[in-house]
């Protein structure tokens, strides 16, 4: 039982980060049809900027805030400088552009920061909490709680505010949204900025547990994408469920099967899901028009 709880909590913790990355993917995908492979770099930026800002003497909460702001600025620049000029390009071209952006950001981080691994202090210390016999790091609760808060905030924003409804309208049908007077360019910029902020928060929360370095983004982007795919592309709740599920699969796979292929689980899952049900677990079947 303690073993099971241990795997469960660590799975949910890592899964929460995948869920946040997947949520960022979904937000951008819904607003602009772009699959943003640079999504993982926002998580990296969140962690790295906080580490280096606090090392420079800025108090930790302010450093974290700065990291979120930097990520949002980078997200907006990515949209205005790289995505907007290539708006009418094919999906594959846009994917390659975002991959280029991810390589560029990683290269910049390598120069501006360094190639070392970095750790942040846990918010409530490192004394493990006993939960049904399992030793849980208090930071896990911060990660899970933070993820819950972000999901709820996003939900309220999308369902209860005019701007949020504009985002949903743009996701549903861009042309129709424009016809009823929605500025879809603003909505898309908002989506990129928002997804960058979500990624940065994930980076700040998870760094005390998993450490961070300039190259953590790629694998996170790939796994976040797997999570989004698992939940059904374009479905925010599906993205969260997919992320948590993927985290659990990894944790139990490592715990009960083998730890050598920890990173392989996500990709085996992607392939199986794509083979068996290309629309994901919670996605709708779409009819392609010619």
The single residue among 26, 71, 102, 213 that binds other proteins, judged by CB under 8 A, is 102
Q: Does 95 bind other proteins (CB under 8 A)?
A: yes
- DSSP three-state, residue 145: helix
Site string for other proteins, 110-149 (x = CB under 8 A): xx--------------------------------------
What distance in Å separates the CA atoms of residue 102 and residue 235, rounded to the nearest whole number?
Answer: 24
Stretch that binds other proteins, among 68-76, 81-89, 145-153, 180-188 (CB under 8 A): 81-89
Q: Does 286 bind other proteins (CB under 8 A)?
A: no
Tokens of 158: 């999308």
Tokens of 248: 């659990």
Q: Does 281 bind other proteins (CB under 8 A)?
A: no
Cβ burial, residue 28 (10 Å; 0-12/13-18/19+): buried
What distance in Å separates the CA atoms of residue 151 and residue 164, rounded to the nearest whole number?
Answer: 14
The single residue among 104, 169, 211, 248 that binds other proteins, judged by CB under 8 A, is 104
The single residue among 58, 164, 218, 282 that binds other proteins, judged by CB under 8 A, is 218
The single residue among 86, 148, 149, 152 that binds other proteins, judged by CB under 8 A, is 86
Least distance from C-beta 85 to other proteins, angstroms? Answer: 5
Q: With the C-alpha atoms ordered 1, 267, 38, 21, is the resulting torsion angle positive or negative?
A: negative
Q: Does 155 bind other proteins (CB under 8 A)?
A: no
Angle separating helix axes 2-32 and 184-210, nearest 10 degrees: 160
Angle separating helix axes 184-210 and 39-55, nearest 10 degrees: 60
Footprint of other proteins on this chain (CB under 8 A)?
A: 35, 82, 85-86, 89, 91-93, 95-97, 99-108, 110-111, 218, 222, 225-226, 229, 260-261, 263-264, 267-268, 270-271, 274-275, 278, 290
């Amino acid at each position: 039982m303690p073993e099971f709880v241990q795997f469960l909590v660590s799975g949910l913790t890592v899964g929460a980060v995948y869920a946040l990355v997947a949520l960022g993917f979904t937000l951008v995908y819904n607003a602009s049809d772009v699959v943003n492979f640079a999504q993982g770099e926002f998580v990296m930026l969140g962690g790295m900027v906080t580490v280096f800002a606090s090392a420079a003497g800025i108090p930790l909460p302010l450093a974290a805030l700065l990291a979120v702001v930097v990520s949002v600025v980078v997200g907006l620049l990515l949209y205005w400088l790289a995505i907007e000029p290539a708006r009418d390009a094919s999906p594959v071209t846009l994917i390659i552009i975002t991959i280029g952006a991810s390589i560029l950001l990683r290269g910049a981080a390598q120069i501006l920061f360094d190639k070392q691994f970095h750790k942040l202090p846990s918010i409530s210390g490192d004394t493990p909490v006993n939960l049904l016999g399992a030793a849980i790091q208090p930071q896990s609760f911060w990660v899970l709680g933070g993820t819950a808060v972000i999901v709820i905030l996003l939900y309220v924003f999308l369902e209860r505010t005019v701007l949020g409804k504009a985002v949903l309208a743009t996701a549903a049908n861009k042309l129709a949204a424009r016809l009823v007077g929605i500025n879809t360019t603003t909505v898309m910029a908002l989506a990129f900025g928002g997804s960058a902020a979500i990624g940065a928060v994930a980076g700040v929360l998870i760094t005390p547990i998993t450490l961070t370095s300039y190259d953590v983004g790629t694998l996170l982007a790939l796994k976040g994408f797997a999570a989004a795919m698992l939940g059904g592309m374009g479905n925010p709740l599906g993205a969260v469920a997919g992320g948590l599920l993927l985290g659990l699969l990894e944790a139990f796979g490592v715990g009960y099967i083998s730890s050598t292929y920890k990173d392989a689980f996500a990709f085996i899952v992607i392939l199986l899901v794509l083979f068996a049900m290309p629309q994901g677990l919670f996605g709708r079947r779409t009819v392609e028009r010619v």
